[in-house]
Chains A and B, each alone.
Chain A
Amino acid sequence: MMQLRITENVHNWLFSVMPEGVASIVEMVLIAVVYLTIFAVAGLFLVLLERRVAAWFQLRIGPNRVGPQGLLQTMADAIKLLTKELTGTERADKFLYNLAPYFVIITALMALAVIPFSAEFHAFDINIGLFFLIAISSIGVIGILLGGWSSNNKYSLIGAMRSGVQTISYELSVGLSLLTMVVITGSLQLSEIIEIQKSGWLILQGHIPAVIAFMIFMISGTAETNRAPFDMVEAESELGAGFHTEYSGMKFAYFFLAEFINMFIISAIAATVFFGGWLSPFGITESIPELGVFWFLLKTMALVFLMMWFRWTFPRLRVDQLLTLEWKYLLPINLVNIVLMALLVWLNLTIRL
């Protein structure tokens, strides 16, 4: 119960030295700082991981000079980006141009707050957790659309339009595949969803439809984060860099980090909903709750690796293939899958350990 004690101690200490109102504000600020730190560290770490994994798939070594095993490479990159000049296009809509990265960042941060890292490490356990995540993820695309349009660049605009089409379509599949799992859990609250999985992870409890839902979620999640093979948005060889062509320095870094954090969020949701979140497999470390974060991160990283595997293995899709995949295959399968899952729950065919 170490974490609980740390947060509790800080909480008690704050309220003992300050008046109540000030203490609660200071506490909120502290939590916000902690999450911002997680955001930055996780983002930088994931960029490094991506580069190492890419190198591994392409039989290279990857970044290995800065720090042991290249661990400080992305830190150095971040500092380089911080010192770079912020350029902009002429006759761009400066207000929207500067606003766009924050949409992407803020939605990613809000989604991060809902995710349960462990039983205690959970900033915002809202009773509609899963639905809140879906709602938040639908706003992120606004940042991309704005960024593409307001930089006054044709390539950016095309990238933004593609992103809009893609995100709006695949959002549907993300939502429906999560709803399939909600049929089993009967609750949208993430802590309760994990509680239910103490009698077997949901992918086991719901067996066939759960596996289908997981596959659909991973495919549409990859598409929603605009990663290869669904990276029509950026498509280096066609569009320069897509919607963030005109961004430089730290503003570019915001988009870049948010993309990786979104990948982390998608994996974290999958780990939470399908693989029991911070629960240990078969409850082997049930007596040591501190390991919750470890198991959660292990599962999430495994899924992150899966998404990186997609990226460096599959060739990029065309726009029409992308839309055909969603509307003609994933969506109908998904709808049938929900009915199948409902039938399973109704006939009590779920597997419980």
Chain B
Amino acid sequence: MERIIFYALALIMIASALASVMSRRMLRSVIYLLFVLCGVAGVYFMMDYNFLGAIQLTIYAGGIIVLIIFSVLLVHHIEMRMEIAKTSKLLFTGLACALGMAVFLSVIYSYEFEVTGQSSGTEVIDIGEKLLDYGEGGFILPFEVISVLLLAAMVGAIVIAKGTALAENKNENT
């Protein structure tokens, strides 16, 4: 049963990944990408990594894809099609993809995967404790670094959004 679901998911993911790069309509590409990301979430759920699966859905499907759709809605007209690239570019991209694929496959096939047999679902409580753990193997430092990064990003976004308004205020004050 699990095997069938896995192959179904894999098939959906590969097909939509291909469709995503080959479609000439921008929004359709985005939706195919959404299918790929949902497929990844499905694989996580299959592995009992429920938390990671839900994170995948919230961040990628609900956050990033919505953001991309939003920007497409703002700039893209429904009848627009993407250009087909020049042959030389196509060849180069194909070559780069083949190279990446070769590296990827060689790594996967040379690595010996251990069969763990039993999967244990991760409890949210464990994740929370690990995140705030400052002892050995704790994640408090990366957690804090990421929050500082996000804060910086937010401040930057506000500055960009305010843009001229901030500068004008400064001029008035001096």
A interface residue numbers (CB < 8 A to B)? 21, 24, 91-93, 95-96, 99, 126-128, 131-132, 134-136, 138-139, 141-142, 145-146, 148-150, 152, 157, 160-161, 164, 168, 171, 186-188
- Bound-state CA distance A142–B70 (Å) is 10
- Bound-state CA distance A161–B125 (Å) is 37
Q: Considering only CB atoms, which chain B residue lies closest to A161 in the complex?
A: B73
**Complex contact A132–B1 (CB within 8 A):** no
**Complex contact A99–B31 (CB within 8 A):** yes
Indicate if B112 sits at the interface (CB-CB under 8 A): no
**Complex contact A93–B57 (CB within 8 A):** no
- Bound-state CA distance A30–B124 (Å) is 31
What string of 1s and 0s marks CB contacts (under 8 Å) between B56-73 and chain A? Answer: 011001110110011011
For chain B, residues 43 to 92, give those with C-beta under 8 angstroms from any C-beta of chain A.
50-51, 54-55, 57-58, 61-63, 65-66, 69-70, 72-74, 78-79
- Bound-state CA distance A63–B1 (Å) is 49
**Complex contact B79–A146 (CB within 8 A):** no
**Complex contact A135–B57 (CB within 8 A):** yes
The 5 A-B pairs with the shortest beta carbon distances in the complex, nearest first, are: A138-B62, A135-B57, A135-B54, A135-B58, A128-B50
Q: Which residues of A contact B27 (CB under 8 A)?
A: 93, 96, 146, 149-150
The answer to whether residues A96 and B31 also contact, given A142-B69, A145-B66 and a CB cut-off of 8 A, is yes
Indicate if B123 sits at the interface (CB-CB under 8 A): yes
- Bound-state CA distance A131–B124 (Å) is 10
**Complex contact B31–A146 (CB within 8 A):** yes
Q: Which residues of A contact B72 (CB under 8 A)?
A: 149
Q: Which residues of A contact B123 (CB under 8 A)?
A: 127
Taking the closest CB of chain B, its distance from the CB of A189, in whole angstroms, is 9
**Complex contact A146–B69 (CB within 8 A):** yes
Q: Considering only CB atoms, which chain B residue lies closest to A189 in the complex?
A: B124
A-B interface contact total, Cβ < 8 Å: 86
- Bound-state CA distance A149–B1 (Å) is 38
Contact of A188 among B66, B79, B124 (CB under 8 A): B124
For chain B, residues 103 to 149, give those with C-beta under 8 angstroms from any C-beta of chain A.
121, 123-125
**Complex contact A127–B62 (CB within 8 A):** no
The answer to whether residues A138 and B66 also contact, given A96-B28, A150-B78 and a CB cut-off of 8 A, is yes
**Complex contact B61–A139 (CB within 8 A):** yes
Add 6 more A-B contacts to A99-B31, A135-B57, A139-B62 (CB < 8 A): A24-B1, A96-B31, A131-B58, A145-B66, A150-B27, A186-B125
Taking the closest CB of chain B, its distance from the CB of A164, in whole angstroms, is 6
**Complex contact A145–B31 (CB within 8 A):** no
Indicate if B34 sits at the interface (CB-CB under 8 A): yes
**Complex contact B78–A93 (CB within 8 A):** yes
**Complex contact B69–A128 (CB within 8 A):** no
Q: Which residues of B contact A150 (CB under 8 A)?
A: 27, 78
Q: Which residues of B contact A161 (CB under 8 A)?
A: 70, 73-74
- Bound-state CA distance A152–B80 (Å) is 12
Taking the closest CB of chain B, its distance from the CB of A24, in whole angstroms, is 7
Contact of A168 among B25, B66, B121 (CB under 8 A): B66
**Complex contact A128–B54 (CB within 8 A):** yes
**Complex contact B63–A138 (CB within 8 A):** yes
